[in-house]
Structure 1
Amino acid sequence: MTSFVKALILMISSATLLCFAHSVPQVPCYFIFGDSLMDNGNNNHLVTTAKANYAPYGIDFPDGPTGRFSNGRNIVDVVAQLLGFENFIPPFATARSDEIVQGVNYASGSAGILDETAEHMGGRICMNQQLTNHAITILQLVDLIGNGSSARVRQHLNKCIYTVAMGNNDYINNYFYPEYYQTSTLYTPEQYAEILVKQYSKQLSTLYQYGARKFGIHGAGYIGCTPAMMKRFNTNICVDAVNGAIIQFNTKLVTALGDLESKLSGSKFIFIDPPLGYSSDFNVTDKPCCNISTIIGEGLCAPNEIPCDARENYIFWDEFHPTESASLVDGARTYEALSSFYASEPKGSFPISAV
C-alpha cells in the first residue's frame, strides 16, 4: 500500500459522512456502472433476491440500510468523497433532476455484462439496461443544462469520470453456476472470456458515443477467494479454477481497453487492478462479519441479526462483499488510479437551469 493511499484512508476515515467537502469537486460529474459492489439502492424495489435494504446492512451508515451491500460506505462512495462531492452520487432509481448534473449511480446487484446473467435471482439491471438508463439521464440533462442542445451536454460529459465494474456476476452467477447455466459446458474459460470482453467492448463504445471520455474500468475481482465461492466449491482455500478464469478475463480486458483507446479519439481508459491482498490490519480475511442467511440469496446477511463487533478487522461483510473498512482501502486505490483525470481538470460545472 502506497503512502498516498494510507494518507487518503486516514483522511476519509475521519471525515464526516454527512458533509464531505466545502470546496468545488475536482471533476464536474461522476457516473457509475456496475454490480452489487457499487449498488447504492437501485435494486430496492426490484423483485430479486439480490437486495441489501434491510438490517444489519447499513449498520455503520447514517441513513441505515439503503441498498448498499455493506455495513457502511462502498467503494464508489469513498471515491466520490475523495473527489470532493458534497453528497454521495445518487442511485438512478431515486435521483432527482437537481442531482443528476453531478452524476448518477446505475449499478445493480447481480448485474452482468450478459443480459441473462443472474436471471435465476430475479430482477436486475444488466449493463445494457444501465446504458439505456444513462441515455434517459442524458435526455434530462439536455433540458437541465443544455437549453435544448445536446452539444453542450456532451461537453459536460466529456469532463466527467466514468467508472465501470462488470464481469463478477458473469462468473459467480453464470459460468460457475452449472445448476442454472450451460456456459461452462459450452465454452472454455478462454472462449468465455473472449465472449464477455467482446460484448463489454461494445458497451463501453456505446458510453463513448454518449459522451464519455474518461473511463476507469475495474478488473473483475478474485472471487475464488470469497467465502461464498469457497463454500460452493467445498474448500477452505481460494478456488484456483475460478481465479484462473478471472485472470484470463482481466488479461483480455486490458488488451481490449488499449484497442478502444487507440480507436476512440480523445478517450482514455484506465484499468484498475483488483486487490491481491490487504494490509495486515485486517485480521479476518476468510469469514464474513454478519451471520449468513439460509433463506435469502446466497451469501447475504440474515435479516436483523447482530453482526460481529470488530468490523474494522474484517475484509468481508457478508460472503461476497467487503466491509466499509476494506472499501476505504479499495476506494483510495481507485482514486489514486484515476488521478490523471482530476489532476488536470478545471473545477466547476454547468449551472442548472430553472425548471
Structure 2
Amino acid sequence: MQGGRIPFAGQVQNYQTAVQTLVNILGDRDTASERLSQCIFTVGMGSNDYLNNYFQPAFYSTGSRYTPEQFADSLIADYRRYLQAMYSYGARKVALIGVGQVGCAPNELARYSPDGATCVGRIDSAIQIFNRRLVGLVDQMNALPGAHFTYINAYNIFADILANAAAYGFTESTAGCCGVGRNNGEVTCLPYQAPCANRDQHIFWDAFHPSEAANIIVGRRSYRAQSPNDAYPMDISTLASL
C-alpha cells in the first residue's frame, strides 16, 4: 500500500506551520527570520504534471485543452504563488530543480519510442518550455530584497549523462533496473520483484526514476557545477557561501 502524497500547496502550509513553531521556540520573529535566511531550500516541481497529467490523454484533458506554452504558464503561475508564500515566511536561499529529460524515461520509451531507445521529442520539447519559464521565474524572485534563488539545470545534466553513459560507468540507459515489459517500463517495479544485479550500471531505477548512481551525479553537479550550463545564476555551493 502506498502512502499519501502531499501536494505543493500542502507542503507550503506545513512549512508555514513549522516556521510558526520555530518563532515560538526562539521567542521572536526576527530571530527566526535570521535563522531561516541561512537555510537552503530545494524545490522540484513539474515532472508529474507532465508524466501523469499532460501526457496522459486517456485520463486527463489538459493535453488537448492547453498548448505546451499555456500549460507551462499555468504551472509557473502556481509555482510563483507558492514561492512567494515561502519567501514571505523567511525562505531566502532557494534552489529550483528543473525538470529532467522525461521523454527518455523507460515508460515513455516503452509507450512512444519506435525503437525503444530514441527519446520522445514532443515530451522533451514541452519540458524545455517549462524549464525556460522557470529560469525567468528565478530572475523575478531574485528581484525581491535579500532573495537568492537559483535554477539547477537537471535537464542539461541528465542529457549529458545519457549522451556519455559509458564514460560515467553506465551500461544500460534505456531500461529500468526493475519493472515489467518493454524497457522494463510498461509496469513499474512490482512488490517483491527482484531488481537487476548491476543497479549501479543502470541510469534508471524503474519506469520513471533515475537510479541512485545517476542521482549522485546530478547531486554533485548541482552542488558544484561542472559546466556553466548546470546552474543559473549559481550552483548550490555558491548559494551556501552567501
TM-score normalized by the length of structure 1: 0.59
**Corresponding position of 1:261:** 142
The CA deviation at 1:182 is 1.1
The CA deviation at 1:298 is 6.9
Contact 1:189 1:248 in 2 (8 A): yes
CA distance in 1: counterparts of 2:24 and 2:84, whole angstroms: 25
The CA deviation at 1:151 is 2.0
Evaluate the alpha carbon distance shift between residue 207 and residue 221 of structure 1 in structure 2; reply closer, same or farther with a 3 A threshold.
same
SS in 2 for 1:191: helix
Structure 1 residue runs of 4 or more that deviate by more than 6 Å after TM superposition: none
SS in 1 for 2:42: strand
> Within 5 A, what are the aligned runs for 1:73-152?
124-144=5-25, 146-147=26-27, 149-152=28-31
Residue of 261, 270, 276 corresponding to 2:150:
270
> Within 5 A, what are the aligned runs for 1:165-204?
165-204=44-83
Provide, for residues 101-133 of structure 1, a one-character-per-residue CA deviation record: whole Å limited to 9, x for no partner.
xxxxxxxxxxxxxxxxxxxxxxx2111111011
CA distance in 1: counterparts of 2:110 and 2:13, whole angstroms: 36
The CA deviation at 1:291 is 3.2
Q: Determine if the alignment matches structure 1 residue 319 to structure 2 residue 202.
A: no
Q: Determine if the alignment matches structure 1 residue 310 to structure 2 residue 209.
A: no
CA distance in 2: counterparts of 1:267 and 1:214, whole angstroms: 7
Aligned length: 219
What is the letter of the counterpart of residue 23 of structure 2? V
CA distance in 1: counterparts of 2:198 and 2:32, whole angstroms: 46
CA distance in 2: counterparts of 1:209 and 1:261, whole angstroms: 13
**Corresponding position of 1:229:** 108
Contact 1:299 1:320 in 2 (8 A): no
TM-score normalized by the length of structure 2: 0.85
CA distance in 1: counterparts of 2:146 and 2:213, whole angstroms: 36
Contact 2:110 2:186 in 1 (8 A): no
Contact 2:105 2:208 in 1 (8 A): yes
Higher relative contact order (CA 8 A, sep 6+): 1
Evaluate the alpha carbon distance shift between residue 312 and residue 265 of structure 1 in structure 2; reply closer, same or farther with a 3 A threshold.
same
Unaligned runs of 5+ in 1: 1-42, 47-123, 345-355
Unaligned runs of 5+ in 2: 225-234
CA distance in 2: counterparts of 1:161 and 1:300, whole angstroms: 33
Q: Determine if the alignment matches structure 1 residue 343 to structure 2 residue 241.
A: yes
Residue of 66, 82, 93 corresponding to 1:214:
93
Contact 1:316 1:323 in 2 (8 A): yes
**Corresponding position of 1:157:** 36
The CA deviation at 1:150 is 2.1
Contact 2:72 2:130 in 1 (8 A): yes
What is the letter of the counterpart of residue 224 of structure 1? G
CA distance in 1: counterparts of 2:194 and 2:69, whole angstroms: 42
| Aligned-residue RMSD, C-alpha | 1.9
